[in-house]
Structure 1
Amino acid sequence: MLNPKIDLQLQLQQRLAQQLSTIYADINLPISIASLVAELMSTMRLTEQLHTPTPQVNHWSEKDTILITYGDSIVHSDEKPLQTLHHFLQHYCADTINSVHILPFFPYSSDDGFSVIDYASVNEALGDWSDIKQIAQSHHLMSDLVINHCSSRSKWFDNFIRGEGTGHDYFYTATTYANSAYSNACDTITRSDDSIEAVVRPRTSPLFRSTTTASGKQQVWCTFSHDQVDLDFTNPKVLINFVSIIRQYLDNGIKIFRLDAIAFLWKKAGTQCINLPETHEMVRLLRTLIEHARADAVIITETNIPNKENLTYFGNGNEAHCIYNFALPPLLVNTLITGNCQYLKQWMMSMPPAQNGTAYFNFIASHDGIGLRPTEGLLSEQEINQLVTTMQEFGGRISWRTVTVNDSSTENAQTKVVQTKKTQQPYELNITLYDALQGTTKGVDEWGHARFICAHAIMLALEGIPGIYIHSLLGTSNDYKKLEHTSHNRAINRHRWDLDTLSLELGDPKSQHARALHDINHLITLRTAQPAFHPNATQFTLQLGEQVFGFWRQSIDRSQSVFCISNIADTQLTLPLASVNLISSDFWYDLISGDTIEDINQTLTLQPYQTLWLSNR
Structure 2
Amino acid sequence: MSNRDNIQSIRKLWSEIYKNEDYNVILEQLIAEVESSALSNPHVSQPEGWYKDAIVYSLYVDLFNGTFAGLTEKLPQLRELGVSCIWLLPILDSPMRDAGFDIRDYRTIRADLLDLPQSTSVEERQKAFRDFLDEAHKNGLKVIFDIAMNHTSEEHQWFVESRKGPDNPYRDYYIWNKDTNRYKETRLLFKGMCPSNWEKDGDYYFFHRFFEFQPDLNYRNPQVLLEVSRILLFWLSQGLDGFRADAIPYIWKEEGTDCENLPEAHMIIKIFRAILDQVRPNTLLLAEACQPPVEVVKYFGDGDECHAGYHFPLMPMIFKSLAIQDAEPVLDVLHPSVTPDIMSENQWFMFLRLHDELTLEMVTPEDRAIIHGHYCRDPRWDFRVGEGISARLAELLDRNPDKIGLAYSIMLTLPGTPIIYYGDEYGKFNDDDFYETFRKETGKDDTRYFVRGPMNWEETASELSDPESVTSKVNTIIKTQLKARSLTKVFGRGSNTWAKPELSENTKNTAPVLAYFREYEGEKVLVINNLSDKALEIKSVDGKTFTGIDIIGGNEVSFPLTLAPLAFKWVKL
Relative to the length of structure 1, the TM-score reads 0.82
Contact preservation (8 Å) 2:434, 2:449:
yes
| Structure holding more helix per residue | 2
How far residue 503 of structure 1 moved from its aligned partner, in angstroms, is: 2.9
Q: How does 1:131-146 map to 2 (within 5 A)?
A: 131-133=128-130, 134-135=132-133, 136-137=136-137, 138=139, 139-146=141-148
Is the CA contact 2:358–2:390 (under 8 Å) kept in the aligned structure 1?
yes
Number of residues of Structure 1 aligned to a counterpart in Structure 2: 537
**Residue number in structure 2 paired with 1:518:** 476
Tell me how far 1:290 sits from its aligned partner.
Answer: 0.8
1:175-217 CA distances to partner (integer Å, 9 max, x unpaired)? xxxxxxxxxxxxx442xx4x543213422221111112xxxx2
Structure 1, residues 419-456: CA drift from partner, whole Å, max 9, x if none? xxxxxx63322111111111xxxxxxxx8210111111
Give the secondary-structure state (helix, strand or coil) at the position aligned to 1:121: strand
- SS of alignment partner, residue 285 of structure 1: helix
Whether the 8 Å contact between 1:391 and 1:397 is mirrored in structure 2 is no
The CA distance in 1 between the partners of 2:128 and 2:362, in whole Å, is: 36
The match for 2:405 is 453
Whole-angstrom CA distance in 2 between matches of 1:55 and 1:281: 24
Aligned to 2:311: 325
* Cα distance in 1, alignment partners of residues 305 and 539 from structure 2: 43
Q: How does 1:204-603 map to 2 (within 5 A)?
A: 204=191, 205=194, 206-212=196-202, 217-350=203-336, 351-375=339-363, 380-393=364-377, 397-400=381-384, 426-438=386-398, 448-485=400-437, 486=439, 487-533=445-491, 535-544=492-501, 546-555=511-520, 557-558=521-522, 560-579=523-542, 581=544, 588-597=548-557, 599=558, 602-603=559-560
Q: Give the drift of 1:394.
A: 5.2
**Inter-CA distance 119–543: structure 2 relative to 1 (3 Å threshold):** same
In structure 2, distance between residues paired with 1:505 and 1:165: 57
In structure 1, C-alpha distance between the alignment counterparts of 2:474 and 2:496, rounded to whole Å: 27
Alignment counterpart, residue 124 of structure 1, candidates 111, 121, 131? 111
Distance 1:54 1:151, change over 3 A: closer
In 2, Cα distance between the equivalents of 1:119 and 1:146? 9
Is 1:151 the equivalent of 2:153?
Answer: yes
Query: 2:174 corresponds to which residue?
Result: 171
SS state at 2:340 partner: coil
Q: How far apart in 1 are the matches of 2:412 and 2:541?
A: 25
Aligned CA distance change for structure 1 residues 371 and 508 (closer, same or farther; 3 Å) = same
Q: Is the Cα–Cα contact under 8 Å of residues 152 and 228 in structure 1 kept in the other structure?
A: yes
Q: 1:155 to 1:235 in 2, by over 3 A?
A: same
Give me the whole-angstrom Cα distance separating, in 1, the residues matched to 2:153 and 2:234.
20
Change (3 A) 1:592 1:12: closer
Please give the alpha-carbon distance, in whole angstroms, between the structure 2 residues aligned to 1:299 and 1:353. 19
2:77 pairs, out of 87, 91, 99, with: 91
CA shift at 1:9, angstroms? 5.5
CA RMSD after TM alignment:
2.6
Q: Sequence identity of aligned pairs in percent?
A: 22
Identify unmatched segments of 5+ residues in structure 1: 1-6, 175-187, 401-424, 439-446
Instruction: Give the letter aligned to residue 358 of structure 1.
Output: N
For 2:569, the equivalent position in structure 1 comes to: 612
**Could you tell me how far 1:55 is from its partner in structure 2?**
13
Contact 1:349–1:541 under 8 Å retained in 2: no
Structure 1 position 17 matched with structure 2 position 1:
no
Q: Does the 8 Å CA contact 2:291/2:362 hold for their aligned counterparts?
A: yes
Structure 1 residue aligned with 2:23, among 14, 23, 31? Answer: 31
Which amino acid in structure 1 is aligned with residue 359 of structure 2? G
Match of residue 160 from structure 1: 162
TM-superposed CA distance for 1:578, in Å, is: 4.5
Judged with a 3 Å threshold, the aligned counterparts in structure 2 of structure 1 residues 352 and 47 are, in CA distance, closer, same or farther, namely closer
What whole-Å deviation, never above 9, does each CA across 1:138-170 have from its counterpart, x for those lacking one?
311111111100111222211112347774431
How far off is 1:301 after superposition?
A: 0.5
Contact 1:16 1:285 survives alignment (8 Å): yes
Structure 2: distance between partners of 1:323 and 1:293: 22
Residues 13 and 319 (structure 1), Cα distance of their counterparts in 2 relative to 1, 3 Å cut:
closer
Using the TM superposition, give the Cα deviation of residue 612 of structure 1 relative to its aligned residue in structure 2, in angstroms: 0.5
Q: Which shows bigger deviation, 278-287 or 88-97?
A: 88-97
**Comparing 569-578 with 261-270, which one deviates more in the overlay?**
569-578
Cα-to-partner distance string for 1:518-555 (whole Å, 9 max, x where unaligned): 2212111110111322x231111223361000111001
DSSP-derived class of the 2:87 partner: strand
1:358-397 Cα shifts (integer Å, max 9, x gaps): 111111110011122233xxxx422211211222215662
Counterpart AA for 2:172: D
Give the match's secondary structure for 1:460: helix
- The 3-state SS of whatever aligns with 2:39 is coil
Q: Which aligned segments of 4 or more residues in structure 1 are displaced greater than 6 angstroms?
A: 53-56
Quote how far apart the aligned CAs of 1:250 are: 1.4
Give the aligned partner of residue 107 of structure 1. 93
What is the SS of the residue equivalent to 1:387?
Answer: helix
What SS does the aligned partner of 1:141 have?
strand
Task: Give me the TM-score of the superposition, normalised by structure 2.
Answer: 0.88
Whether the 8 Å CA contact 1:589–1:614 is kept in 2: the answer is yes
Q: Cα gap change, 1:389/1:272 in structure 2, threshold over 3 Å: closer, same or farther?
A: same
2: CA distance, partners of 1:399 / 1:111: 15
SS for the counterpart of 2:242 is: strand
Q: Distance in 2 between matches of 1:432 and 1:47?
A: 42
Aligned to 1:393, the other structure's residue is in SS state: coil
* Kept after mapping to 2: 8 A contact 1:371/1:428: yes
Matched AA of 1:60: Y
Select the residue among 71, 74, 78 that pairs with 2:64: 74
After TM superposition, give the deviation of residue 510 of structure 1 in Å: 2.8
Q: Once the 2 structures are TM-superposed, how far is the Cα of residue 130 of structure 1 from its aligned partner?
A: 4.1
Name the counterpart of 1:48.
39
Q: How does 1:179-190 map to 2 (within 5 A)?
A: 188-190=178-180
CA distance in 1, matches of 2:2, 2:298: 29
